[in-house]
């Protein structure tokens, strides 16, 4: 009786107990998506105002996510991991080295890929990314299916090569997948390569991870939202503007129209970049009638313990994907963040065609 009274008092004092991640259902497997991780501390941090930080370069939220993945590969039957980009904030050796060493915890344990974000791209090139995450780091793995070789721009500069746009394969739950990780606003030659890879692996379900896809639909809307608290639904969707590669950068709307929509094996597009939008999801119909789910996940990066991660639990026998937004540090399911109030924004189910 005393224990019950104490428990009741605790609930009254501290609110409803946090929702825990339920056990992985029988026959399910997990595809993990890591949102943008551009929050660094210490001497490698990018400080816009105030004194330069001192001490070792750290990233607690990034670290907790990767350590949780490493510790739960077997328990959660993690088949693949994607990082949506902005793996660093400021392109210095301290941040690149930290990110590289941290992701090394997954090397040899679970296949993964990274889509370079605008913070990972040096104006129009990915030299830093390719120095720390080169193609040679992954080429020995049977699941690594290659990368785009790059192209030469009109000004004579070769870009988009190395591991900036990569392809991976995995199998789980009796299903075969091909995953493409694309740099932010991948130029048209990259998308031609995407066409080739999706045709080559047409017998596999396809997932595309790219940094910019869903968010504030136009640059004007992105500017308008800075001056109001309004966030009407009509502001959000497939983005019709770009941040990288200048005039060569292809916005998401055009990437869908000219490339993504043309492939009947495509089932899922995941993206980040849009922390002011936090999350969003849409379903688009490809030219072959296939339904393609697209999801945004870029949760707040304003505190060390905001380490939300997306878990896509595939359940082949039910023909559905259960999506959970989970915090390893707090060991709880997301019930709401900022203006994205309500559990349904963060926990939902997608039909698997």
Contacting residues for 86 by C-beta, under 8 A, at least 6 apart? 36, 37, 38, 117, 118, 119, 120, 211, 272, 273
Q: What is the pLDDT along the chain (353 residues), one digit of tens a residue?
A: 444 444 444 444 445 689 999 999 999 999 999 999 999 999 999 888 888 899 999 999 999 999 999 999 999 999 999 999 999 999 999 999 999 999 999 999 999 999 999 999 987 899 999 999 999 999 999 999 999 999 999 999 999 999 999 999 999 999 999 999 999 999 999 999 999 999 999 999 999 999 999 999 999 999 999 999 999 999 999 999 999 999 999 999 999 999 999 999 999 999 999 999 999 999 999 999 999 999 999 999 989 999 999 999 999 999 999 999 999 999 999 999 999 999 999 999 999 97
Contacting residues for 314 by C-beta, under 8 A, at least 6 apart? 28, 29, 30, 31, 172, 173, 175, 321, 352
Helix ranges restricted to H, 180-272: 188-200, 219-224, 252-258
Helix ranges restricted to H, the chain: 2-14, 60-71, 93-103, 127-132, 188-200, 219-224, 252-258
* Exposure b/e, 25-62, CB count within 10 A at least 16 = b: eeebbbbbbbbbbbbbebebbbeeeeeeeeeebbbbbb
Instruction: Identify the burial level of 330 via C-beta atoms within 10 angstroms of its C-beta, where 0-12 means exposed, 13-18 middle and 19 or more buried.
Output: middle
Domains identified in the chain and CATH numbers: 27-351 (3.60.21.10)
Which residues on adjacent β-strands are paired with residue 266?
Answer: 206
Q: What is the pTM of this model?
A: 0.94
Helix ranges restricted to H, 211-273: 219-224, 252-258
Q: Which two tokens stand for residue 325?
A: 């937004």
């Amino acid at each position: 009786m005393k224990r019950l009274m104490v428990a009741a008092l605790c609930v009254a004092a501290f609110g409803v107990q946090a929702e825990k991640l339920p056990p992985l259902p029988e026959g399910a497997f997990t595809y993990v998506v890591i949102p943008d991780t551009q929050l660094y501390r210490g001497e490698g941090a990018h400080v816009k105002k105030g004194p330069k930080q001192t001490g070792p370069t750290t990233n607690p939220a990034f670290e907790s996510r990767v350590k949780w993945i490493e510790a739960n590969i077997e328990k959660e039957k993690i088949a693949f991991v994607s990082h949506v980009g902005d793996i660093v904030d400021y392109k210095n050796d301290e941040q690149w080295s930290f990110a590289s060493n941290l992701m090394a915890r997954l090397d040899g344990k679970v296949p993964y890929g990274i889509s370079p974000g605008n913070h990972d791209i040096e104006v129009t090139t990915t030299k830093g990314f390719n120095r720390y995450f080169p193609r040679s780091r992954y080429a020995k793995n049977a699941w690594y299916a290659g990368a785009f070789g790059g192209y030469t721009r009109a000004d004579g500069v070769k870009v988009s090569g190395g591991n900036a746009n990569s392809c991976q394969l995995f199998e789980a739950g009796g299903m075969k997948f091909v995953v493409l990780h694309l740099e932010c606003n991948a130029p048209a030659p990259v998308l031609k390569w995407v066409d080739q890879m999706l045709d080559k692996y047409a017998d596999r379900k396809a997932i595309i991870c790219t940094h910019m896809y869903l968010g504030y639909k136009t640059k004007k809307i992105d500017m308008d939202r800075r001056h109001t608290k309004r966030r009407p639904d009509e502001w959000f969707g497939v983005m019709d503007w770009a941040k990288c590669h200048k005039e060569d950068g292809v916005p998401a709307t055009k990437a869908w129209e000219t490339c993504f929509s043309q492939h009947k094996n495509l089932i899922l597009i995941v993206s980040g970049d849009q922390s002011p939008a936090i999350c969003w999801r849409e379903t688009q119909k490809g030219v072959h009638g296939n339904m393609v789910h697209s999801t945004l996940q870029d949760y707040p990066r304003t505190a060390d313990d905001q380490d939300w991660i997306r878990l896509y639990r595939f359940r082949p026998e039910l023909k559905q994907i259960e999506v959970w937004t989970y915090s390893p540090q707090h060991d709880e399911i997301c019930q709401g963040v900022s203006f994205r109030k309500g559990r349904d924004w963060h926990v939902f189910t997608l039909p698997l065609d």
